């Protein structure tokens, strides 16, 4: 029996991933790997990780690390998506590039253009998320609950609308064929990590039957953010609507921090409480994780192998 098999089902790895356009990003304790499927086979890109907490240890402390990790993952995720898009055929690249990207590429060169596109993409992503999942539900709640005086009831309605809009958004994006394929790669990522954590050899045959849902998925994290925000915003209320909205924006880092720690705890434990807490997130993954084909699984396996540390068990969660 190999050392990997001796680990048993209690092993949880810190390795995590992200689905890309025709590819997978895997991030281990020391390395980050992108594997995309090109016309001539698999395209690989491996880099040593430069973690912010290594330069600034305070960023690795509980609560602080959640906010830092969130924004660091956003930036790395956009970079990986850009790399995967660059591997597509030229006609598909042109279709994926929006007018803003075209304008930036026309007025700036090389790394400057890339940094601008990454910065703008992250900023627009945050603005869209805040507008769609915070501002819109808040305005709808204010419109629908005019006669209601209880701030607690208003907050519950606001939270329900936020979750409803989130679910509707996820359902709508799955109707887009390109996004649906990304979600199939998402399934390959989860299945390969399950296979690795069980100590099985990383083959297509072993990965394919693994479950699609994973407790440490980013989708589950976003759902936890929704729930924690309802609890936090219930404690802090203000009669002035503008002040209340500003307070919610200021409390977002707090919500993200607590959500990260909760998701981290759930991912590290396998008991009745963690099962209950992870159940809603796993159910939600039915909208964002789909069955992959063998080619997608091959991508995930290759990306995972490239970031597994040489020292066995050093990636334990």
Residue 11: which pLDDT band, with cuts at 50, 70 and 90? confident
On whether residue 242 sits in a domain, the answer given is yes
Range of the domain at 270: 3-69+125-307
- pLDDT by residue (tens digit) across 109-151? 777 777 787 778 778 888 888 888 888 998 898 888 777 777 7
- Beta bridge partner(s), residue 316: 13
Binned at pLDDT 50, 70 and 90, residue 91 comes out as low
Q: Which residues make Cβ contacts (< 8 Å) with residue 12, sequence separation at least 6?
A: 197, 267, 268, 316, 317
The average pLDDT across 147-165 equals 85
Q: Is the pLDDT of residue 163 over 50?
A: yes
Q: Is residue 315 part of a domain?
A: no
Residue 97's pLDDT band (cuts 50, 70, 90): low
Which of the residue ranges 68-72, 109-113, 291-295 would you say has the lowest mean pLDDT? Answer: 109-113
157 part of a folded domain = yes
In-domain check, residue 230: yes
Q: Give the pLDDT score at 4.
A: 47
pLDDT, mean over the chain: 85
Q: Given this model, what pLDDT does residue 6 score?
A: 46
In order of 79, 101, 122, 245, the CA distances from 115 in angstroms are 9, 11, 11, 31
Instruction: Give the pLDDT band of residue 3 (cuts 50, 70, 90).
Output: very low
Our count of domains for the chain comes to 1
Q: What is the pLDDT of residue 93?
A: 56
- Indicate whether this model's pTM tops 0.95: no
Q: What pLDDT is recorded for position 36?
A: 94
Give percent above pLDDT 90 in the chain: 35
Does the pLDDT at position 238 exceed 50?
yes
Q: pLDDT tens, 22-47?
A: 999 999 999 999 999 988 889 999 99
Residue 106 belongs to some domain of the structure? no
pLDDT band at 153 (very low <50, low <70, confident <90, very high): confident
Q: Give domain status of residue 317, yes or no.
A: no
Structural domain includes residue 264: yes
Are the beta carbons of 288 and 219 closer than 8 angstroms? yes
For residues 50 and 35, which has the higher predicted lDDT (pLDDT)?
A: 35
180, part of any domain? yes
The pLDDT score that the predictor gives to residue 2 is 46
């Amino acid at each position: 029996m190999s050392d990997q098999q001796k680990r048993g089902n209690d092993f949880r790895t810190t390795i995590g991933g992200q689905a890309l356009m025709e590819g997978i990003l895997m991030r281990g304790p020391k390395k980050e790997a992108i594997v995309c499927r090109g016309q001539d086979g698999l395209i690989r890109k491996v880099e040593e990780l430069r973690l912010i907490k290594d330069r600034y240890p305070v960023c690795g402390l509980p609560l602080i690390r959640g906010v830092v990790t969130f924004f660091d993952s956003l930036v790395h995720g956009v970079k990986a998506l850009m790399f995967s898009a660059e591997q597509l055929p030229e006609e598909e690249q042109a279709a994926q590039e929006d007018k803003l990207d075209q304008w930036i590429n026309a007025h700036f060169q090389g790394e400057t253009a890339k940094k601008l596109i990454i910065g703008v993409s992250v900023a627009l992503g945050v603005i869209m998320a805040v507008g769609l999942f915070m501002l819109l539900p808040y305005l709808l709640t204010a419109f629908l609950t005019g006669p209601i005086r209880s701030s607690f009831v208003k907050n519950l309605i606001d939270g329900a609308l936020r979750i409803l809009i989130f679910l509707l958004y996820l359902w709508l994006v799955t109707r887009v064929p390109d996004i649906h394929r990304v979600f199939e790669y998402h399934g390959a990522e989860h299945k390969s990590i399950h296979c690795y954590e069980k100590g099985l050899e990383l083959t297509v045959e072993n990965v394919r039957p693994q479950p699609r849902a994973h407790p440490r998925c980013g989708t589950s994290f976003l759902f936890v953010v929704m729930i924690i925000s309802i609890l936090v915003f219930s404690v802090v209320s203000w009669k002035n609507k503008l002040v209340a909205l500003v307070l919610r924006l200021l409390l977002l880092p707090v919500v993200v921090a607590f959500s990260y720690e909760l998701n981290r705890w759930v991912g590290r434990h396998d008991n009745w409480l963690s099962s209950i807490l992870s159940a809603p997130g796993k159910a939600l993954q039915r909208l964002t994780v789909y069955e992959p084909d063998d080619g997608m699984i091959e991508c995930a396996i290759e990306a995972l192998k490239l970031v597994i540390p040489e020292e066995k068990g050093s990636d334990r969660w």
